[in-house]
């Protein structure tokens, strides 16, 4: 049994507002630019003294570039409020440990919080003892303080819960550190040098860290070691190279290597390793082809004989690795390979040298084009996995998923021929109230109820995320989060047959929930959910007050101009989330911000967003549109968009705007629009195609010119599919012909630039490989050329998401100030 961790008195509680003080000065103001900092001349000292004497002269100070006095006041006011939203913590993961006597459980939550001054996310652990006082009552007793996990890249408890692995990746050429903790102290610490492997992958996609069943071995995915590079000195090329730093020589670059694009720039090929938890000895897993990138490793159930096997996901590539972040259309398969063999010795486990042996690698899913998130049942009798074959086969970067099962043979020779059973097929068009399809971006490492065949998984359902119960033997699927709620739900961990979850809405901060099964007379299981009082998601009284004045609803928007050529799924209403104030001070409507998600095959769900809640709290209504092509509405609706971008999606957004205007919820003269990536594509299309509709616009890394993007992006195939439809997948080439470049241009927002007159702010990441900064800069410069008011902020170290804490903060602060200027 697992031992209890962080046992605490039940009377202690924590108010996080006391333990995470806010910065003493605004992170947007550099001390070196402050008028009182390090004056370099007598005149500047004199100016500073004048500035301090308001009674003798007006204040003299240097204004930040692009600001006037009024805007600076707005900056100061809005930044204080945005800071209060930004300081709210996120729950990233959770684990449950059963107590030795079986009377309760220990929950451990991994949280993170923006540390704006350090420009990083602060990670910490909070623990709670869970006691079930009755079937309908649960008590969480929280530790008094969080414990910061400084420098920890990931933490992974062992299967028994008696050990905790902490991995610390280096920020330079130092070794990776593996720490193994028991409940009272550090038990082992191993340092893995760069000559064996680079950083361990903790990205949520290639990432895989898995203990074996007896906790003697850990399999994981890390960057393969750096290849040797040519060495030069003052005499020219140095034969034999050099492994040590030498001031009389220098390393050349060597041949350039492909990477997996956005967020993976400079990262080496993900490879599979196993570490012995007793000796710290690390071995690369043999037999895997160099052309295969590996990830998501798990241990297979024990087989007859001495060998243990690993199951992992493999992504193959030919001449180029196309961008994989947010792109589920990259073919992948499940593979099985034999783990390095250890033999028992008197002094522990020693690695048996098998370098001369031929190690076979089995492809387990040759019958299907996509397979990932492998999970074995508790008894080891079957393997369940998710598939994005709709994405791979159509070329859409994301689409409706399917769930599959392999009945696991005990004979290794039968693995490649094992039959793949469909558990949840791709849903093309669901009836109202029925499962619209499976849209799942993650699984728990242990998603099983005690019957051994029921999985608990999150999935998108329309504009909300819900929790599903799936019987993988019968295929029965039930929505177990409340069907009468428009809130979004996510499962954090399982406590036996109970669920620890989190629920939120656009106007409600996340709250922990505890779910349990209520048996009914018909033997059909229904679920009841309890509120859990928690100190870990506290926010300021001001934020609580502002959010309490807001409300939201999910609207169904009828499709405009339905034609016979549309499929049934594409003809059904799409949805929009509308956030507004409870009560209006007058008959006038608050200004409206239309919010558009990227992708386009993504979705905006009804969960809490700190940045959008900030915009709502400073006086804006929000219309968050899930146009056709979004996830969560069936495959027919999704596949209706490729080939029609810039027209169908634009029409849907304009229809949604007219819908709220007709209902008296928005004023036609006070509408702004905000979008990033494909949402920026839509935003810039809208201000060109409907130039009188919007008083202000804001875009983050927008797609403005597909003809330019196709030659510079890490996903040029995306341009082909979204412009040409599914046939674009087969026509993709690195050298598009002139007529195709002309088509790309005609489908782009830049083709409507001559009509644009909306003041627009651009937030751009200079390290963006998905939509390179040249796309937004070209469009912004062209607008300036024709006299449209434009503001451009470039974040030099940010990628496509612009999610570094300082950049995200400054981005939404500038959006709030920009909209306040033009959309009062």
Residues marked as catalytic: 677, 768, 800
Burial class (CB within 10 angstroms; exposed 0-12, middle 13-18, buried 19+) of 354: middle
Residue 176 pairs in a beta bridge with 192
> What is the three-class DSSP state of 343?
strand
- In eight-state DSSP terms, residue 549 is T
> What is the three-class DSSP state of 208?
coil
Residue 483: partners with Cβ closer than 8 Å, 6 or more residues away:
none
Q: Which one, of 567, 760, 560, 758, lies nearest residue 656 by Cα?
A: 560
Backbone region of residue 662 per phi and psi (left: phi > 0; alpha: psi in -120 to 50; beta: other values)? alpha
Q: Which one, of 379, 430, 374, 372, lies nearest residue 401 by Cα?
A: 372
d(CA 128, CA 107): 5
d(CA 177, CA 156): 14
Q: Which one, of 448, 447, 450, 426, lies nearest residue 436 by Cα?
A: 426
> Are β-strands 790-795 and 760-765 bridged in parallel, bridged antiparallel, or unpaired?
parallel
H/E segment holding residue 517:
strand 508-519
Residue 527 pairs in a beta bridge with 517
d(CA 285, CA 37): 57
> What is the three-class DSSP state of 391?
helix
Whether 270 contacts 294, CB under 8 Å: yes
Q: Which one, of 284, 275, 278, lies nearest residue 225 by Cα?
A: 284
> What is the three-class DSSP state of 777?
helix
Q: Which tokens sit at 12?
A: 């202690």
> What is the three-class DSSP state of 664?
coil
Whether 552 contacts 606, CB under 8 Å: yes
- The residue behind tokens 């399982």 is 494
**Main-chain dihedrals φ then ψ at residue 228, nearest 5 degrees:** -65, 145
**Main-chain dihedrals φ then ψ at residue 657, nearest 5 degrees:** -65, -45
- In eight-state DSSP terms, residue 691 is T
d(CA 727, CA 340): 44
d(CA 407, CA 416): 12
Residue 477 pairs in a beta bridge with 470
Upper half-sphere CA count for residue 722 (Cβ side, 13 Å): 29
d(CA 697, CA 655): 18
Compute and round to an integer the Cα radius of gyration of the chain: 28
d(CA 543, CA 614): 9
H/E segment holding residue 91:
strand 90-98
Q: Which tokens sit at 536?
A: 């870990």
What does each C-alpha distance from 373 to 158, 295, 329, 787 come to in angstroms? 19, 9, 15, 51
Sheet holding 332-338, edge to edge: 292-299, 309-316, 332-338, 361-363
Whether 716 contacts 732, CB under 8 Å: yes
């Amino acid at each position: 049994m697992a031992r209890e961790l962080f046992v605490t008195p039940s009377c202690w509680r924590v108010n996080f507002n006391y333990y995470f003080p806010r910065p003493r000065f605004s992170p947007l103001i550099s001390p070196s630019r402050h008028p009182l900092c390090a004056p370099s001349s007598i005149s500047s000292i004199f100016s500073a003294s004048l500035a301090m004497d308001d009674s003798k002269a007006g204040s003299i100070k240097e204004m930040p570039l692009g600001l006037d006095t009024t805007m600076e006041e707005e900056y100061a006011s809005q930044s204080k409020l945005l800071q209060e939203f930004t300081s709210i913590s996120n729950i990233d993961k959770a684990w449950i440990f059963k107590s030795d006597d079986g009377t309760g459980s220990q929950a451990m939550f991994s949280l993170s919080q923006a540390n704006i001054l350090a420009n990083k996310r602060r990670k910490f652990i909070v623990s709670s003892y869970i006691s079930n006082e009755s079937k309908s009552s649960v008590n969480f007793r929280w530790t008094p303080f969080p414990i910061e996990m400084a420098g920890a890249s990931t933490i992974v408890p062992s299967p028994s819960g008696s050990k905790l692995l902490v991995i610390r990746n280096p920020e330079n050429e130092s070794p990776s550190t593996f720490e193994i903790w028991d409940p009272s102290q550090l038990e082992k610490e191993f340092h893995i040098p760069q000559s064996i492997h680079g950083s361990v992958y903790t990205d949520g996609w290639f990432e895989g860290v898995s203990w074996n069943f007896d906790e003697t071995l850990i399999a994981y995915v890390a960057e393969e070691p750096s290849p040797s590079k040519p060495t030069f000195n003052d005499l020219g090329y140095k034969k034999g190279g050099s492994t040590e730093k030498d001031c009389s020589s220098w390393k050349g670059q060597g041949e350039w290597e492909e990477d997996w694009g956005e967020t993976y720039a400079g990262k080496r090929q993900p490879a599979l390793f196993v570490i012995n938890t007793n000796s710290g000895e690390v071995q690369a897993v043999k037999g895997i082809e160099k052309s295969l990138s590996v990830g998501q490793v798990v241990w297979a159930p024990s087989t007859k004989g001495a060998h243990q096997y690993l199951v992992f996901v493999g992504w193959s590539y030919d001449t180029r690795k196309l961008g994989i972040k947010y792109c589920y259309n990259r073919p992948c398969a499940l593979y099985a390979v034999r783990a390095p063999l250890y033999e028992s010795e008197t002094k522990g486990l020693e690695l048996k040298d098998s370098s001369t042996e031929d190690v076979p690698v089995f492809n387990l899913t040759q019958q299907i084009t996509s397979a990932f998130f492998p999970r074995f049942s508790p008894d080891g009798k079957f393997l369940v996995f998710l598939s994005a074959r709709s994405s791979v086969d159509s070329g859409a970067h994301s689409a409706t998923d399917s769930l599959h099962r392999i009945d696991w043979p005990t004979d290794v020779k039968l693995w490649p021929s094992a039959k793949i059973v469909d558990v949840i097929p791709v849903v093309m068009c669901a009836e109202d109230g029925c499962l619209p399809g499976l849209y799942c971006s993650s699984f728990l490492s242990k998603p099983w109820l005690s019957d051994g065949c029921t999985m608990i998984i999150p999935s998108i359902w329309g504009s909300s995320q819900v929790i599903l119960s799936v019987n993988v033997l019968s295929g029965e699927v039930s929505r177990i989060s409340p069907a009468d709620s428009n809130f979004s739900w996510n499962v954090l961990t399982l406590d036996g047959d109970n669920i620890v979850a989190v629920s939120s809405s656009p106007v409600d901060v996340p709250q922990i929930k505890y779910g349990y099964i209520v048996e009914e007379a018909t033997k059909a299981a229904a679920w009841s959910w309890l509120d859990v009082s928690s100190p870990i998601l506290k926010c300021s009284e001001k934020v609580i007050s502002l959010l309490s004045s807001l409300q939201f609803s999910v609207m169904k928007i009828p499709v405009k101009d339905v034609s016979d050529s549309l499929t049934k799924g594409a003809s059904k209403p799409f949805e929009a989330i509308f956030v507004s104030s409870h009560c209006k001070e007058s008959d006038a409507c608050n200004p409206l911000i239309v919010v558009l998600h990227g992708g386009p095959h993504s979705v905006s769900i009804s969960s809490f967003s700190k940045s959008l809640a900030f915009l709502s709290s400073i006086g804006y209504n929000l219309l968050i549109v899930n146009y056709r092509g979004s996830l969560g509405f069936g495959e027919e609706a999704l596949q209706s968009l490729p080939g029609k971008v810039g027209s169908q999606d634009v029409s849907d957004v304009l229809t949604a705007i007219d819908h709220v205007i007709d209902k008296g919820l928005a004023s036609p003269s006070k509408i702004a629009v905000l979008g990033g990536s494909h949402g920026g594509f839509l935003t810039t299309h809208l201000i060109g195609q409907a130039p009188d509709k919007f008083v202000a616009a804001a875009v983050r890394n927008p797609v403005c010119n597909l003809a330019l993007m196709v030659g510079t992006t890490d996903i040029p195939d995306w341009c082909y599919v979204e412009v040409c439809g599914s046939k674009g997948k087969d026509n993709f080439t690195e050298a598009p012909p002139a007529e195709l470049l002309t088509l790309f241009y005609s489908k782009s927002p830049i083709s409507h630039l001559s009509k644009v007159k909306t003041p627009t702010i651009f937030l751009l990441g200079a390290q963006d490989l998905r939509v390179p900064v040249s796309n937004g800069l070209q469009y912004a410069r062209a607008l300036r050329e024709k006299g449209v008011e434009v503001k451009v902020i470039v974040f030099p170290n940010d990628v496509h998401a612009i999610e570094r804490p300082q950049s995200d903060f400054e981005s939404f602060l500038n959006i709030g100030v920009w909209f306040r200027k033009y959309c009062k």
